[in-house]
């Protein structure tokens, strides 16, 4: 399986994601449900703190990637659902903001929403990964 990340001329090359990813060869696609900052008791982790919620969400997604033998470099699609884009722009530019993808950035879509499943959730992330079939 081969993955090619493409940012064609004439389209702004964004530092946080790739515009296009092609996947060739035998592939197993893995679809991840939206991960929220929901705690085991159905509460919200770190209400009002988007950076902490994002880290929590990504840590939970790491557990799920590990469970299926995938890595962040296998992720080809990321969708972010955000209740506060202004806050996202602020925290995502912080120098200590975690970088999970390195140079293997997925395609990405940010979607502004008025509310998520819990009134204190500020972020939800879903992923699609492409791995070699087992």
pLDDT tens digits along 44-100: 999 999 999 999 999 999 999 999 999 999 999 999 999 999 999 999 999 999 999
**Are residues 104 and 72 in contact, defined by beta-carbon separation less than 8 angstroms?**
yes
**Residue 44 to residue 56: CA distance in whole angstroms:** 10
Q: Quick check: helix, strand or coil at residue 17?
A: coil
Say what the pTM is: 0.92
What's the topology of domain 31-131? 60s Ribosomal Protein L30; Chain: A; (3.30.1330)
**Residue 31 to residue 93: CA distance in whole angstroms:** 28
pLDDT in tens, 91-124: 999 999 999 999 999 999 999 999 999 999 999 9
Give the contacts of 64 (CB within 8 A, at least 6 positions apart).
32, 35
Q: Where are the domains of the chain?
A: 31-131
Counting every residue, how long is the chain?
A: 134
Name the DSSP letter for residue 88. H
């Amino acid at each position: 399986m081969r993955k090619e990340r493409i940012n064609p001329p004439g389209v702004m090359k964004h530092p946080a994601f790739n515009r296009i990813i092609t996947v060739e060869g035998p592939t197993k696609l893995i679809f991840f449900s939206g991960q929220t900052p929901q705690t085991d008791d159905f509460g919200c982790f770190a209400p009002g703190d988007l950076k902490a919620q994002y880290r929590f969400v990504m840590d939970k997604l790491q557990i799920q990637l590990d469970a299926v033998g995938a890595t962040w470099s296998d992720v080809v699609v990321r969708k972010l659902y955000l209740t506060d884009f202004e806050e996202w722009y602020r925290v995502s530019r912080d120098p200590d903001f975690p970088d999970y993808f390195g140079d293997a950035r997925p395609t990405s879509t940010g979607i502004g929403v008025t509310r998520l499943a819990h009134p204190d959730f500020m972020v939800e992330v879903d992923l699609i990964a492409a791995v070699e079939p087992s």
